[in-house]
Structure 1
């Protein structure tokens, strides 16, 4: 699936992904995956439903769903490079993804964010009801063993 809008290509084609650029952003610029190893990024991409935003053949945005494509999807690693922010690209990317055929009729769509609640609320995301029912194993900074 792909859409071209205002000179930007939105695509779910993994062969277009520029893994070195994705790794650079996630490991250096994101707050959630600082120091993530390149091989971990490559494995996460291999095992996820991935989406990219491209301008003139250069990847400038990314997101992925961890999903079984039947009941559950976890949205993660969403970013648009800083030079391209403020153009509505993240909103267009979320819209492109949320209506993807592989993500229809799931029981739960979930994500975690520190700073983009307003963006995701536009697509129906809300605070988790009964958060006391949610559990996790959280490992702080698993990529930097110093």
Structure 2
């Protein structure tokens, strides 16, 4: 699946993704995945519904939904490279993610963020009504 806007495109064609760019960002810049192994990044993408953001053929952003496509999805690893921020591309990337047909009619979508609450609120995400019900088990990168 693909969306286009000017010289930009969002694609779910994982074979077109530049995993060097994705891994570099997730392992070196993202606060949530420092040092993550490239093999884990690629395996996670291949077992998710992954979205690449491109300027022509250059990968400049990424997002993925971990989902069963029936009831639940978890949005993860969203980024736009810093040189391309400020042009609304993050909003557009999430617009495209949320428009994907496999993500319609789900009972719940979740995400975790420390700094992008306003971005996700535009797409209907709110703080959990029952945070006391949410649990996690944290493993190693």
TM over 0.5: yes
- In the alignment, the residues of structure 2 paired with residue 135 and residue 25 of structure 1 have an alpha-carbon distance, to the nearest angstrom, of 27
- In the alignment, the residues of structure 2 paired with residue 104 and residue 45 of structure 1 have an alpha-carbon distance, to the nearest angstrom, of 20
Q: How many pairs align?
A: 141
**Could you tell me which residue of structure 1 aligns to residue 26 of structure 2?**
26
Structure 1 unaligned residues grouped into runs of 5+: none
With structure 1 as the length reference, what TM-score do the two structures score? Answer: 0.94
- In the alignment, the residues of structure 2 paired with residue 137 and residue 46 of structure 1 have an alpha-carbon distance, to the nearest angstrom, of 23
Residues 62-84 of structure 1, C-alpha deviations (whole Å, 9 max, x = no match): 00000000000000000000000
Alignment of 1:1-146 (within 5 A): 1-139=1-139, 142-143=140-141
Residues 6-56 of structure 1, C-alpha deviations (whole Å, 9 max, x = no match): 210111111111111100110011100110001111110110000011112
Structure 2 unaligned residues grouped into runs of 5+: none
CA RMSD for the aligned pairs? 0.8
- In the alignment, the residues of structure 1 paired with residue 11 and residue 127 of structure 2 have an alpha-carbon distance, to the nearest angstrom, of 29
With structure 2 as the length reference, what TM-score do the two structures score? Answer: 0.97
* Structure 1 runs (4+) greater than 3 angstroms displaced: none
- In the alignment, the residues of structure 1 paired with residue 42 and residue 99 of structure 2 have an alpha-carbon distance, to the nearest angstrom, of 25
